[in-house]
Structure 1
Amino acid sequence: MPHARFERRIAALLAEADVRVGGERPWDLQVHDPRFHARVLGQGSLGLGESYMDGWWDAASLDGLLYRLLAARLDERVPRAGEIFDALRARLTNLQSPRRSGEVGRRHYDLGNDLYAAMLGRRLVYSCGYWRHADTLDAAQEAKLDLVCRKLRLRPGMRVLDVGCGWGEALTFAAERYGVEGVGVTISGEQAEYARRLCAGLPVEIRLQDYRALDEPFDAVFSLGMFEHVGVKNYAAYFDVVRRCLPADGLFLLHTIGGSRSVDRTDPWIARYIFPNSMLPSAAQITHAAEGRFVLEDWHNFGADYDLTLQAWRDNIEAAWDALAPRYDQRFRRMWRFYLAASMATFRSRRSHLWQLVLSPRGVPGGYVAPR
């Protein structure tokens, strides 16, 4: 019987990750629909994520299960749906062109400010917090924003650019705490509207604008969690934009999720349901694009902090679901749970990283000492 063969194959794979079907441990998998096995074997991560959204399986500890699957690298043993087509499309097409760049804004960041306000905490900062001396999400996010300002050596009167400014929290923090003025650009209409209200009364301008249109002087530049949407075909152009906006003695801080391997596309489930046209850069891809444009002054990896950040986001959103709009229905909730849990698993297994790079156009005279 085909079903029995698929079940045996899935059970053997899961055993390599110390996961049992029908087991009693929190990370064991509970199958509710027998079609699950064939769907995952045939579609890989896309089938795994979609079948969870459809209620075909559960795990008491979803992140615990997915962590074990990634740590055992089972994702490399099961095919990805449409992988050949996806690879050809990524190689032949600029998925992050100016025409396509707005899609992630419309489909993800414009989902609703109510969703993100419920999840992200006191500040709407949708990137990794810095937990070195913090024990709450709000403290970790404030520590991260302060770390960025200190790494850039911000001083009163400086003019600062935020590439991918989100809801404006980083520029607001820099203006209030460090006395700077600034410009933030985003491709999300919902974010821009919120950020303009947040920054009212501060010397901060928020623009609904693609980063490629920027061509004006700033004393410092930062970008927090936006580079994941740039795409490898556009890395050189991205660094050219930042370089032309900086003086010779300026500093640029790039805060991005990164992967251990060079790719040209993202996971198919993530691409379909969460971040269309996204991809995680590798260290090699970043340094290749920055070569000849910047001096790399500092490279800081605190990816383990993203696991803590995501756990806090999960706790917040789980406590808030019943108070949110009906449009966030049960299938959306399961999609969002899978997204957060899978993200935790990638950082916990050290398959993904959180990097902060500090770059200068010509090198800091006497050397650069980065705060931690």
Structure 2
Amino acid sequence: MTKHELGLTSTSSAIVRPRITAIHRWARNYTTRILAAAGITVNGSQPWDVQVYDERLYLRCLLNGSLGLGEAYMDGWWDCAAIDEFICRLLQVQAPAKVGWLVNFPLWLDSRLINRQRGKGAFVIGRRHYDIGNDLYAAMLDRRMIYSCGYWENGARTLDKAQEAKLDLIARKLDLQPGMRVLDIGCGWGGTAHYLAERYSVQVVGITVSQAQAALARERCHGLPIEIRLEDYRQTRGTFDRILSVGMFEHVGYRNYRTFMKTARRLLADDGLLLLHTIGTNVAYQGRDAWIERYIFPNSMLPSPRLLTAAFEGLFVLEDWHNFGINYATTLKAWHANFEQAWPQLAHSYDEQFYRMWRLYLLMSAGSFMARASQVWQLVLSPCGVRGGYRSVR
């Protein structure tokens, strides 16, 4: 992938000494007060203290919020020994609400007026994020290449074990039985489908909007009763005993939540179960994060409890709602450790600016889960209610 395709620009990471004006000094004073409220000192000695190399950073962040902060990091204007803790502290004092005047409102308005996750727009995330290189994901993820939160609650000590525990949790929540027909919406590189078909003797149809994922998933699942399709969920036909969607709902968009649920209901047998695994946010927000939008997950949006329940109201019975969001901080740190270890080999295909971008993405995300600003939910839904009641699984 080229820099242009990734949304990167050619910028220098050299330390510069720009002319500092009165507006820059005001921005510095305003920003340092926000940082101080979070227990962060500019050029301090604690791991979460920010080291500033360009005084223009403050105004850039005030005007452009996360976009300014993220691009400035990619440009080498600042650094921090513990980015995850730095972000966690900022979120705990709600610092993002105090900055980003230029970009937040236009993104909110765009989300309100335009449905960017339907039609050809549904495939943008595949090209821009999941197709950037299977080598990157193979190096960063566990051996099954599961790109969602692991389950560390029951004593898992490695990423492989945490992801296997999560897959086992899903299978038990769905009460899988041999011969069942299962739909995996957002199947990734086929790791979940492979596990379920091999361990539980079910037939799986996996769908993805990523060409790279589909190609590798077909290769990895060869010989098992698994069909991998390159298609949007709205295109899927058939009837399934069980449906699961893990780490895909974040790309659906709030304007399509009801459509997703209606589609799942159409595809699911009357006595079936749907398991929805998604990142969620505490408060409904119908906009998008500017830096994440431009560089990581275009057109992505996190659901809130209210938006989720409204989407399935009248279509499904809520059988179970499980939150284990703090597990994602551990998962992201494991991915980051793998990424750092593999970087000498990956550097042949990706440049230094990509390294800083990806590192920030992983650690910024970890900080959000540490601050409990982001959650991980697993919902189990049934069309008519499980006869005799559903027994929650943990």
> Shared topology, TM-score over 0.5?
yes
Amino acid at match of 1:280: L
C-alpha distance in 2, partners of 1:291/1:80?
35
Tell me whether 1:75 sits opposite 2:96 in the alignment.
yes
String of CA shifts for 1:209-254, please: whole Å, max 9, x gaps: 0110112111100000000000111111111111111111100000
Amino acid at match of 1:41: L
Tell me whether 1:229 sits opposite 2:255 in the alignment.
no
Query: Structure 2 residue aligned with 1:352, among 369, 374, 382?
Result: 374
C-alpha distance in 2, partners of 1:297/1:352?
22
C-alpha distance in 2, partners of 1:199/1:145?
16
What secondary structure sits across from 2:105 in the alignment?
Answer: helix
1:112 match: 133
Query: Structure 2 residue aligned with 1:37, among 45, 54, 58?
Result: 58
Query: Structure 1 residue aligned with 2:34, among 13, 22, 47?
Result: 13
What secondary structure sits across from 1:250 in the alignment?
Answer: strand
The alpha-carbon deviation at position 89 of structure 1 amounts to 1.2
Return the TM-score normalized by structure 2: 0.93
Between 78-87 and 317-326, report the one with greater CA deviation. 78-87
Aligned partners of 1:46 and 1:81 also within 8 Å: no
What secondary structure sits across from 2:344 in the alignment?
Answer: helix
What secondary structure sits across from 1:357 in the alignment?
Answer: strand
What secondary structure sits across from 2:269 in the alignment?
Answer: coil
C-alpha distance in 1, partners of 2:59/2:36?
17
1:76-225 alignment, distance < 5 Å: 76-133=97-154, 134-225=156-247
Query: What is the RMSD computed on CA atoms of the aligned residues?
Result: 0.9
The alpha-carbon deviation at position 139 of structure 1 amounts to 0.2
C-alpha distance in 2, partners of 1:201/1:325?
34
The alpha-carbon deviation at position 57 of structure 1 amounts to 0.3
Aligned partners of 2:136 and 2:346 also within 8 Å: yes
Amino acid at match of 1:269: W
The alpha-carbon deviation at position 282 of structure 1 amounts to 0.5
Aligned partners of 1:32 and 1:55 also within 8 Å: yes
The alpha-carbon deviation at position 265 of structure 1 amounts to 2.5
What secondary structure sits across from 1:100 in the alignment?
Answer: helix
Query: Structure 2 residue aligned with 1:55, among 63, 73, 76?
Result: 76
Identity of aligned residues (%): 55
Query: Structure 1 residue aligned with 2:266, among 216, 235, 244?
Result: 244
What secondary structure sits across from 1:115 in the alignment?
Answer: helix
1:313 match: 335
Aligned partners of 2:186 and 2:206 also within 8 Å: yes
String of CA shifts for 1:287-327, please: whole Å, max 9, x gaps: 00100100000000000000000010000000000111533
Aligned partners of 1:21 and 1:30 also within 8 Å: yes
C-alpha distance in 1, partners of 2:24/2:186?
47
Query: Structure 1 residue aligned with 2:297, among 263, 275, 289?
Result: 275
C-alpha distance in 2, partners of 1:143/1:281?
25
Amino acid at match of 2:86: L
1:324 match: 346
Aligned partners of 2:73 and 2:356 also within 8 Å: yes
C-alpha distance in 1, partners of 2:144/2:347?
21
Aligned partners of 1:160 and 1:219 also within 8 Å: yes
Amino acid at match of 1:16: A
Amino acid at match of 2:95: L
For structure 2, the 5+ residue unaligned runs are: 1-21
For structure 1, the 5+ residue unaligned runs are: none
Tell me whether 1:265 sits opposite 2:287 in the alignment.
yes
String of CA shifts for 1:306-358, please: whole Å, max 9, x gaps: 00000100000000001115331110010011111110111111111000000
Query: Structure 1 residue aligned with 2:320, among 298, 316, 325?
Result: 298
String of CA shifts for 1:70-101, please: whole Å, max 9, x gaps: 11111111134322221221111101011211
C-alpha distance in 2, partners of 1:5/1:263?
30
C-alpha distance in 2, partners of 1:161/1:328?
34
What secondary structure sits across from 2:121 in the alignment?
Answer: coil
Tell me whether 1:26 sits opposite 2:59 in the alignment.
no
Aligned partners of 1:231 and 1:278 also within 8 Å: yes
C-alpha distance in 2, partners of 1:289/1:135?
36
Between 37-46 and 345-354, report the one with greater CA deviation. 37-46
Amino acid at match of 1:82: V
1:362 match: 384
